[in-house]
């Protein structure tokens, strides 16, 4: 019973963090129809940047979250024009070009990280590391809990932004119909740049938390790219609110398979679930995808 409880809590806590990785990724697809294969690499770079900042300044990594968010927003802003060029203009098949381009970006990031930091595994220590919180009948590592809180906070702010602010409405309008939005005076390109940099910022920031929860290494991106994919397939491609449920489901699944079957089978289990979803309900478990 206690194990079950612990497993559920663990799953939900991980799920909270997966939301953050999935949400920007989903928005990116919804608005620009770009599947960013480099999503895991943004997480990885965020983790490394957090590690570097902590190593250099010695403060707690949480202090740097806003700074890291801004830095990654800037990076996204810089990279977006290239992506835009890849998917627009006289390109023959924009979707393919976009996919391949971000695929190339992910290889650059991975190769770059490998070349700089090698295969060594690094980690970030925070003042929460090792502490735990009593919650009902089980204990919860404080760091995991704060990761979850972070995930929920980011999600809430994000949702408020998306549904209540002017910029958010413009973004959603663009996601619904790019042509109509541009007829209404929306600068689709600028909206795209804005969304991409927002996405990069959020994902990079989540990397810091992931990096302090788990270990940091150059090849870690693959895992989060996979998770982001699965979340989005489960949620329905481009359907942002579905991400929350999908991420929690995935978190639970991961934690249950990890505890009751064995950690090395998680990817296989996730894959089977994704395969089943694609087979039965390709628009996601909520049937709201595009």
Partner 1 sequence: MTFQTEGARINHTPVIRRFTLPGLLLLFFLSLLLLPLFLSPLWIRIATEVLMWAGLAQSWNVIGGYTGYLSFGHGAFFGVGAYATGILMVHLGWPFGIGLFFSGVLSAFLALLIGYPTLRLRGAYFAIATWAFGELLRQVATILDITGGAYGLQLPAFLNLPFFYYIMLGVTGLTYLTIYLLLERARFGYRLLAIREHEEAAEMVGVDTVSIKIQAFALSAFFPGIIGGINAYWVTYIHPDSVLRADITDFMVVMAFLGGIGSLWGPFLGAVVVQLVQRVLWLVWGEGTFYLVIIGAAICSVVLFIPNGLIGVLEGQIFKPKEAIKELKKKVKW
Residue nearer to partner 1 on the CB measure, 33 or 122:
33
Would you count residue 260 as binding partner 1 (CB under 8 A)? no
Handedness of CA 260, 263, 265, 271 (dihedral sign): positive
C-beta of 57 vs 275, nearer to partner 1: 275
Partners of 138 in beta bridges: 135
Give dist(CA 207, CA 17) in Å, integer.
Answer: 10
Instruction: Report 263-282 residues binding partner 1 (CB under 8 A).
Output: 264-265, 267-268, 271, 274-275, 278-279, 282
Cα 211 from Cα 123, distance rounded (Å): 6
Instruction: Decide whether 259 or 267 has the Cβ nearer to partner 1.
Output: 267
Q: Which region, judged by CB under 8 A, interacts with partner 1, from 46-54, 100-108, 147-155, 177-185?
A: 100-108
Span from 109-117, 127-135, 137-145, 157-165 in contact with partner 1 (CB under 8 A): 109-117
Q: Which residues in 190-209 contact partner 1 (CB under 8 A)? A: none
The only residue of 4, 57, 59, 93 in contact with partner 1, by rule CB under 8 A: 93
Complex with partner 1: residue 81 or 130, whichever CB lies closer:
81
| Residue 32 CB partners (closer than 8 Å, separation 6+) | 83, 87, 192, 195, 196
Distance CA 63, CA 53 (A): 10
| Contact call for residue 106 and partner 1 (CB under 8 A) | yes
CB of 263 to partner 1, least distance (A): 11
Considering the complex, what minimum distance in angstroms separates the CB of residue 82 from partner 1?
7
Contact 191, 174 (CB under 8 A): yes
CA 108 from centre of chain? 19
- In this structure, are residues 209 and 150 in contact, taking their beta carbons and an 8 Å threshold? yes
Looking at 91-215, list the stretches that DSSP marks H as alpha helix, in order from N- to C-terminal side.
Answer: 94-117, 142-164, 166-176, 178-183, 188-213
Binding residues for partner 1 (CB under 8 A)? 29, 33, 35, 37, 82, 85-86, 91-93, 95-97, 99-101, 103-112, 114-115, 118, 222, 225-226, 229-230, 232-233, 237, 264-265, 267-268, 271, 274-275, 278-279, 282
């Amino acid at each position: 019973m206690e194990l079950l409880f612990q497993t559920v809590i663990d799953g939900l806590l991980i799920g909270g963090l997966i939301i953050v990785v999935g949400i920007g990724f989903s928005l990116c697809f919804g608005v620009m129809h770009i599947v960013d294969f480099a999503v895991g690499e943004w997480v990885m770079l965020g983790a490394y940047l957090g590690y570097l900042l902590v190593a250099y300044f010695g403060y707690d990594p949480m202090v740097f979250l806003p700074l890291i968010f801004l830095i990654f927003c800037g990076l996204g802003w810089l990279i977006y024009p290239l992506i835009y060029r890849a998917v627009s203009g006289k390109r023959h098949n924009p979707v393919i070009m976009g996919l391949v381009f971000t695929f190339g970006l992910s290889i650059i990031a991975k190769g770059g990280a490998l070349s700089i930091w090698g295969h060594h595994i690094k980690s970030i220590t925070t003042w929460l590391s090792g502490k735990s919180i009593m919650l009902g009948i089980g204990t919860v590592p404080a760091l995991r809990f704060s990761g979850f809180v972070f995930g929920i906070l980011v999600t809430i702010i994000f949702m408020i932004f998306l549904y209540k602010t002017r910029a958010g409405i413009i973004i959603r309008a663009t996601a619904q119909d790019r042509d109509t939005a541009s007829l209404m005076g929306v600068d689709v390109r600028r909206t795209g740049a804005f969304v991409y940099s927002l996405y990069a910022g959020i994902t990079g920031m989540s990397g810091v938390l992931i990096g302090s929860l788990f270990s940091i290494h150059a090849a870690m991106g693959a895992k989060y790219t996979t998770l982001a994919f699965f979340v989005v397939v489960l949620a329905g491609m481009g359907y942002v609110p579905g991400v929350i449920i999908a991420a929690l489901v995935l978190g639970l699944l991961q934690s249950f398979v990890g505890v009751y079957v064995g950690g090395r089978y998680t990817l296989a289990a996730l894959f089977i679930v994704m395969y089943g979803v694609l087979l039965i309900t390709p628009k996601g478990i909520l049937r709201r995808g595009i």
